[in-house]
Homo-oligomer: A and B are copies of this chain.
Amino acid sequence: MVLHQPEPVDEVSPVAIVCGGGSLPLRVAEAAAARGRKVVLIGIRGVADPQIARFPHAWIRVGEGGGVRRAVVRHGCRELCMIGHMTRPNLASLGFDWETLRMAGRIARLFVGGDDRLLTGVARMMEEMCGVKVVGAHEIAPEIVASEGKMGRYGAQARDLADIRTGLAVLRALGPHDVGQAVVVGEGRVWGIEAAEGTDGLLERVAAMRHNGRIRVPFGVGVLVKAPKPGQDLRVDLPAVGPQTIEGAARAGLAGVAVQADATLVAEPDKLVEAADRAKLFILGVTQPADQ
């Protein structure tokens, strides 16, 4: 896995970055800024890192679409990127403004269905409300996208590659059902599939099954495979890995982590490699086999 080299961009309008939780929003902003792009961060209150205040920024509540529109207009943004963790909110906790509430029926419908449908719907509403084009984090910050090949010191063995193929096949089979983006496979057997619990929850579960004897396979066997769903809207829901993914995989006794090249965000590549080398885990960027 090598990192993409920055290329100069000719966009002159700042890109609006709607920031959820975690370290990714700041990393995306830093990477975009480093390649000369102006950024405006729009933080979701109580969720986004307060450090977004290092950049031109605004704060909104979840559901406050008007706040996004005002920030976009004020700064003359023509592109908007949504990035970071979002717990699926319940309707009561949403701080709807009147502007957004006009779309309430449409929003309610979005909540029936998977994450992908929800996020794609929110992206479409942002485009309509704010007159922007929604772009993926990988488009404004290609430096933090995984490439094909190994990252760090350790490589995958033949056994791991077989488990990775199985994992990719399972994720492909689940694609039409808008389920999670991660699976753990060991010795050809599916140990866990991510749904609403998230990747960290999946890894914790595998660690627990190793400890309680439900999985009786030596440590250093098994792979976490992450990949976007087939047909997934990459603008709004790219899978991501960070050092905590590696730490979770190490606690689960896995051999390594495979991510889909060109479609996985790596928030902190240096720390990721450091964590993987320390835990003697491989990290591998893979492409979906075309023949399966």
* Most chain B CB inside 10 Å of its own CB: which residue of A113, A173, A178: A173
- Contact status A209-B190, CB under 8 Å: no
* Contact present for B195 and A190 (CB under 8 Å): yes
Q: Is A189 an interface residue, CB under 8 A from the partner?
A: yes
Q: With both chains docked as a complex, state the minimum distance between the C-beta of A193 and any C-beta of chain B, in angstroms.
A: 4
- Contacting residues of chain A (73-99) with chain B, CB-CB under 8 angstroms: 87-90, 93
Interface residues of A in 142-186 (CB under 8 A from B): 166, 169-170, 173-174, 176-179, 184
A112 within 8 A of partner (CB): yes
**Docked pose: A189 CA to B116 CA in angstroms:** 10
A187 within 8 A of B: yes
Pair A169/B173 contact, Cβ less than 8 Å: no
Among B111, B176, B189, B193, point to the contact of A114 (Cβ < 8 A).
B189
Q: Are A201 and B190 in contact (CB under 8 A)?
A: no
Contact between chains at B187 and A196 (CB < 8 Å): no
Question: Closest approach, in angstroms, between the C-beta of A189 and any C-beta of chain B?
Answer: 5
The answer to whether A201 touches B196, judged by C-beta atoms less than 8 angstroms apart, is no
User: Cβ of A289 < 8 Å from any Cβ of B?
Assistant: no
Contact A170 B166 (CB under 8 A): no
Q: How far is the CB of A204 from chain B (nearest CB, A)?
A: 10
Q: Cβ of A191 < 8 Å from any Cβ of B?
A: yes
- Check A213 for interface membership: any CB of B closer than 8 A: yes
**Do A111 and B209 form a contact, CB below 8 Å, given A88-B216, A192-B197?**
no
Q: How far is the CA of A111 from the CA of B186 in the complex (A)?
A: 11
The answer for the CA separation of A111 and B193 in the assembled complex, in Å, is 20
Q: How far is it, in angstroms, between the C-alpha of A89 and the C-alpha of B193 when the chains are bound?
A: 22
Q: Supply 6 A–B pairs (Cβ within 8 Å), ascending by A.
A: A87-B216, A190-B195, A193-B193, A196-B209, A196-B215, A197-B209
Which are the 3 A-B pairs with shortest beta-carbon distances?
A: A90-B216, A193-B193, A191-B196
Binding site for B on A (CB under 8 A): 87-90, 93, 111-115, 166, 169-170, 173-174, 176-179, 184, 187-193, 195-198, 201, 205-206, 209, 213-217
Extra inter-chain contacts (15) besides given A90-B217, A113-B189, A169-B177, CB under 8 Å: A87-B214, A87-B216, A88-B216, A89-B216, A112-B187, A113-B187, A113-B188, A114-B189, A173-B173, A173-B176, A179-B190, A184-B195, A192-B195, A192-B197, A196-B215
